[in-house]
Amino acid sequence: MPTSPVCHGHPDDPHAIGRCAVLEAGDRVAPNGPRFAVTYRVVADDRDQARARADDICFEQTIELPADLEPGCPLCRGILGRIEEQGADGPGAWRFIISYDAATAGGELTQLLNVAFGNTSLKPGIRIVGLDLPAAMHAGLGPGQGMAGWRTATGVSGRPLICSALKPMGMPAPCLAEVARRMARGGADLIKDDHGLADQPFCSFAERVPRVLAAVAEANRETGGNCVYLPNITAPHERLRARARRACELGARALLVAPGLTGFDGLRALARDDQVDVPLMAHPALLGGWVSDSASGIDHATLFGRLLRLAGADATVFPNWGGRFGFSREECLGIAAACREPIGGMAPIAPAPGGGMTPERAAELLAAFGQDAVWLVGGGLQRGDDLAANCRALRRVVEAACS
Amino acid sequence: MPTSPVCHGHPDDPHAIGRCAVLEAGDRVAPNGPRFAVTYRVVADDRDQARARADDICFEQTIELPADLEPGCPLCRGILGRIEEQGADGPGAWRFIISYDAATAGGELTQLLNVAFGNTSLKPGIRIVGLDLPAAMHAGLGPGQGMAGWRTATGVSGRPLICSALKPMGMPAPCLAEVARRMARGGADLIKDDHGLADQPFCSFAERVPRVLAAVAEANRETGGNCVYLPNITAPHERLRARARRACELGARALLVAPGLTGFDGLRALARDDQVDVPLMAHPALLGGWVSDSASGIDHATLFGRLLRLAGADATVFPNWGGRFGFSREECLGIAAACREPIGGMAPIAPAPGGGMTPERAAELLAAFGQDAVWLVGGGLQRGDDLAANCRALRRVVEAACS
């Protein structure tokens, strides 16, 4: 038999429900403002078990007490998650939209993710497949520039942007600068550091970034082009913003960051930093754990599309289908859709598929991702002995496909 | 037919292998220092396919070029991961220990995790089950205080520490302070903020922390006890260290942080912060994605034990078997073992199992986790109408089991 709820926190009396001095003071009310909604896909044996799991989420993610211990106080009760919709989602799975008072997130992305999925992430068979915020929660979130930022930076319109990757890790900075020079000469629109280039002793950030920026600027002067180099500014917690700001001081016009390494909130902090006024490309390193089990974690579109866009990415890199990773066509298209779907006044961002982006697939990829995308082409460009010619050939194919 | 390797980065000549000006200058050599080792569990159809996947990891996590495009340059070749050991690991799975040059991590935990698992995390059927660093990489990592820090803070020896959780979210600060007072009177050794208490308008950090600290201090004066309150200092990127420092200024003698929300490196930054000289308890919120698929992600012992210990946790909270989460006994014992196994001179830390920590299981749990552990007891203590009596009863049971 369940115990009657008791407010253990009443300052005067442990049996104070209904005559709470705090409530009676009238200066505090249960939060009753806008709510955000999380869609969970729940695996269960039957509909009743699924509903019980969803009810559990409402408690687990908020007061974290069993239902029979909910203190009965309106202040606490107002905090509980609330099931707004439910429905079947294929064999053995159900979907629940659960809303939470916006106040539970306290205006912090870290806490928003905590309420959405903190403890529940540890329960197998529950997957986040949607995250919808009311307009009141948009402040401080979202991309700084979005897709338009890439257009402005490169001056390229009417076709997807071509982004090559500066590699390999291990190559000294002077050689990487030479690689970048050839890519820029060949007409790459963007050149991103490989995400493995950090601040290693064999290729320090302080040496690499100015050298590559200079080489790309020289190539731009030769060709009349406007290639943009994106240094990887993923860095330890204390140095993340300083590294991003330093890159901008050195002349970088866009940056690469891996939010799986910095935390999602590191990306948000960069997007909101007045001294980092350039587009940000998010790399998926160390985010794979979230999507590998289709019954748990966060789905591809919500993670790489919705969540990274909310956190401030202007482009989101993900492994394209047909490359060496296992994302499906449907998952990739879901990410691209999430980059663009309306979220209040939030700018659309660039899907940046990488892997299997070969000239032969240009028409297919253009049809799939549209013009407002970044095509990430890595190792393939380094095949053969003329890097610039490879870039040039790819760019011609893309231009032809869009003409 | 594979293309011959070409060094696209040679400043003078694209066919420069064997007569590289950079190498000949003699002031740069391939890094040849200590190596760290990552153990991967690889799912495959057969041994050859598993080996091919492991070979692929060696490239993917370093130069990120296909094998036939490896530039042939000793600088780059020295960077490749190296398979050190391999063996079967049950039906359809193999284990590979792959070592990487310590220099690839550049002295940064963010980059260490990137090399260990960045892109490979996106490939299903590969799981990290071990991470071993040479002594040269221990600098800047590891717990500040370890298990001894909890003993010093509480003055308790010879038995596990009892940690209760301050909740529910939604309760105003004065009421939470009252909850804490009763827990402290009842003999809780530690009282942690529920991880859902952040800086919400209905219970701000600035109001909650001083009130709870004061209530616990008053209870300690009454009882002669030494209960320690752990404010949750999980916070946005820009405010994380400031919030931790502020809690310490206010008198907090230990802190709670959720590295899944701050990023692993946020925890490390706190552990290395001279102004945060107190033990840190790591909460597993938003880390579940890593363990939910047994074929991918990171295994329980490596994630909650090894990795969080390296990142600087002094205690690691995880859901105990028999509670409302799905961790097995073996997984929980693996975490506890990883908290204590020798890593150079790195201090052992406290396993902090939570969930199902009932008085009836005291003997079993003591046998499983030993005395050097923190028992996390949450909602169960709030059952009935006398919180202090519930704490007292649990403490008596624990003391009796250890006497």
- Residue A286 and residue B234: Cβ atoms within 8 Å? no
- The full DSSP string for A324-361 is SS---HHHHHHHHHHHHS--TTPPP-EEEEESS--GGG
> Within A251-386, where are the H helices?
259-262, 264-271, 300, 308-311, 329-340, 362-369
* Strand-pair category, B35-43 with B93-101: antiparallel
From the list A66, A171, A297, which residue is nearest B9 (CB)?
A171
- Confidence bin at B105 (pLDDT 50/70/90): very high
- Confidence bin at A384 (pLDDT 50/70/90): confident
Q: Among A110, A241, A243, pick the best mutation site for testing chain B contact (most B Cβ within 10 A).
A: A110
Q: Among A233, A292, A307, A385, pick the best mutation site for testing chain B contact (most B Cβ within 10 A).
A: A292
What six digits make up the tokens of A91? 């064999």
pLDDT of residue A1: 35
Q: Is A382 helix (H, G, I), strand (E, B) or coil?
A: helix
- Residue A286 and residue B114: Cβ atoms within 8 Å? yes
pLDDT of residue B3: 43
- CA distances for B359 relative to A384, B401, B402, angstroms: 69, 10, 13
- Sorted by sequence, the CB contacts under 8 Å of residue B31 that are 6+ apart come out as A201, A202, B78, B79, B101, B102, B103, B104
Q: Is A255 helix (H, G, I), strand (E, B) or coil?
A: strand
- Residue A292 and residue B121: Cβ atoms within 8 Å? yes
Given a cut of 50, is residue B125 above it in pLDDT? yes
CA pair distance A60, A43, nearest whole angstrom: 17
Residues of B in contact with A240 (CB under 8 A): 237
CA distance B214 to chain A (A): 14
- Residue A297 and residue B292: Cβ atoms within 8 Å? yes
- Sorted by sequence, the CB contacts under 8 Å of residue B180 that are 6+ apart come out as B166, B191, B212, B215, B216, B219, B229
Q: Closest Cα partner for B318 from B83, B333, B124?
A: B333
ipTM: 0.95
Spot the catalytic one: A10, A167, A195, A300.
A167
Given a cut of 50, is residue B347 above it in pLDDT? yes
> Which chain A residue shows the shortest CA-CA distance from B23?
A172
CB A301 within 8 A of CB A331: yes
Q: Is A245 helix (H, G, I), strand (E, B) or coil?
A: helix
Sign of the torsion angle spanned by Cα atoms A126, A127, A132, A136: positive
CA distance B158 to chain A (A): 30
CB B3 within 8 A of CB A384: yes
Catalytic annotation on A123?
Answer: no
- Confidence bin at A33 (pLDDT 50/70/90): confident
Kindly state the average pLDDT of the residues B208-215. 98
Mean pLDDT score across all residues of chain B: 92
- CA distances for B19 relative to A167, B7, B14, B74, B79, angstroms: 20, 11, 11, 12, 20
Given a cut of 80, is residue B6 above it in pLDDT? no
Sign of the torsion angle spanned by Cα atoms A309, A310, A314, A316: negative
- Residue A382 and residue B6: Cβ atoms within 8 Å? yes
Spot the catalytic one: B10, B167, B192, B300.
B167
List, for residues B317-336, the tens digit of each pLDDT value.
999 998 778 899 999 999 99
From the list A3, A11, A196, which residue is nearest B174 (CB)?
A11
pLDDT of residue A28: 46
- Confidence bin at A341 (pLDDT 50/70/90): very high
List, for residues A217-264, the tens digit of each pLDDT value.
999 999 999 999 999 999 999 999 999 999 999 999 999 999 999 999
Q: Is A166 helix (H, G, I), strand (E, B) or coil?
A: strand
Given a cut of 60, is residue A4 above it in pLDDT? no
Given a cut of 80, is residue B297 above it in pLDDT? yes
CA distance B394 to chain A (A): 17
- Residue B169 and residue A104: Cβ atoms within 8 Å? yes
> Which chain A residue shows the shortest CA-CA distance from B325?
A123
- Residue A79 and residue B168: Cβ atoms within 8 Å? yes
CA pair distance B391, B165, nearest whole angstrom: 11
- Confidence bin at A68 (pLDDT 50/70/90): confident
* Strand-pair category, A190-193 with A161-166: parallel
Q: Look-up: residue for tokens 């350039």?
A: A278
Q: What are phi and psi of B25, to 5 degrees?
A: -60, -25
What six digits make up the tokens of B44? 């495959």
- Confidence bin at B131 (pLDDT 50/70/90): very high
What six digits make up the tokens of A7? 């407010």
List, for residues A261-287, the tens digit of each pLDDT value.
999 999 999 999 999 999 999 999 999
Catalytic annotation on A192?
Answer: no
- Confidence bin at A27 (pLDDT 50/70/90): very low
What six digits make up the tokens of A35? 């709510």
- Residue B62 and residue A168: Cβ atoms within 8 Å? yes
- Confidence bin at A400 (pLDDT 50/70/90): very high
Q: Among A6, A29, A101, A119, pick the best mutation site for testing chain B contact (most B Cβ within 10 A).
A: A119
Given a cut of 70, is residue A381 above it in pLDDT? yes
Residue bearing the bigger pLDDT, B333 or A387: B333
- Residue A236 and residue B269: Cβ atoms within 8 Å? yes
Q: Is the pTM value of this prediction over 0.90?
A: yes
List, for residues B237-268, the tens digit of each pLDDT value.
999 999 999 999 999 999 999 999 999 999 99
